[in-house]
Structure 1
């Protein structure tokens, strides 16, 4: 069953779909991975570059970028290119999930809803 986002009133800065096209199991598998959770937590309040995420949670850059890309592919993270010092630019990752809610039904099925900030 697809997981539906409940969009808030905030205007989106990047284009992405209004639905997370993942089953509840797939979504829970994403957050079941310790590194993915730590990466997501690192950007939950403050957008960061992949390099900054790696340093913040003390993992290798490839580990941080793999998890960031996984979250982005799932529609849970967006990116924005920002201009850094000396004219260089880099990607900044931003979490777009405000709430992830899991409920279990009497028939044993599971519902998951995701509320996003944009």
Structure 2
């Protein structure tokens, strides 16, 4: 059993009269873009966290089937379609492993920002 040591849920709710128009719009839409859970403790040893990532990827492959995308490198990630609008993402950041459920729209925006950063546009 995996027991997280902490959790965080940002609901986007602000005190009445203090919220921005953006947060009010998000509240009106009732949309959560991302749920992220750290599955491992922070590890100073790369092989230890890499092994955990490989074992979790194999377990998810057994449960969910063939991934829709695999991205080697740092960070490494494996993606599974989780419905028409969401993706389940297993990510190895080097010192920890994360499981994330994210909307495809948010994932696309994140990838666009990463591309722009790599091209020096940010």
Q: Report the TM range for the smaller structure's normalisation.
A: under 0.3
Normalising by structure 2, what TM-score? Answer: 0.23
Structure richer in strand, relative to its length: 1
Which structure would you say has the larger RCO, counting Cα contacts within 8 Å and 6 or more residues apart? 1
